[in-house]
Amino acid sequence: MEQLNNTSSKEWFQKIKWNEQGLIPVIAQEIDSNDVLMMAWMNHDALLATLEKGQAVYWSRSRKKLWHKGEESGHFQNIRGVYLDCDGDTLLIKVEQVGGIACHTGTHSCFFSELNIARETSAWKKISTK
């Protein structure tokens, strides 16, 4: 935790506003296509691990532990840029998506359900995301 304590005191780190659970939402966008791949969460340790490895490390809220994206699938996300929004409470990361697959369902992007916006008959339809 030495490293975390050192980092926590730094000005850039203090600009980040963590929520009441100590988390911040992180949007992962593919660097070349600009496709939005997924949204996940990081805590302090996940962000530091991300910067340390140069690959996305999230906090898994369901498993309550650090989740090095791709550790099981091989679908790592190599970090190409890290951005903070105007009020400091959301991160955007631009990544090279190894294998082109971000979703655990095997699709390119997690946002593969599009709302058919017709009154009375609205429904989610599966689309190809690449």
Smaller CB separation from its own copies, 66 or 110: 110
Q: Which of 4, 60, 71, 124 binds its own copies (CB under 8 A)?
A: 124
b/e map of 34-66 (b: 16 or more CB within 10 Å)? ebbbbebbbbbbbbbbbeeeebbbbbeeeeeeb
121 burial via Cβ count (<10 Å: 0-12, 13-18, 19+): exposed
- List the one residue out of 29, 53, 55, 59 whose CA is nearest residue 41: 59
**76, amino acid identity:** F
Q: Which of 9, 64, 115, 128 binds its own copies (CB under 8 A)?
A: 115
Q: Which of 18, 92, 96, 100 binds its own copies (CB under 8 A)?
A: 92
* Residue 117 in contact with its own copies, rule: CB under 8 A: yes
Q: Are 37 and 28 in contact (CB under 8 A)?
A: yes
Residues 1-60 that bind its own copies (CB under 8 A): 10-13, 15, 25, 27, 29, 33-36, 38-39, 51
Report the interface residues with its own copies, using CB under 8 A: 10-13, 15, 25, 27, 29, 33-36, 38-39, 51, 79, 81-87, 90, 92, 103-105, 107, 110-115, 117, 122-124, 127
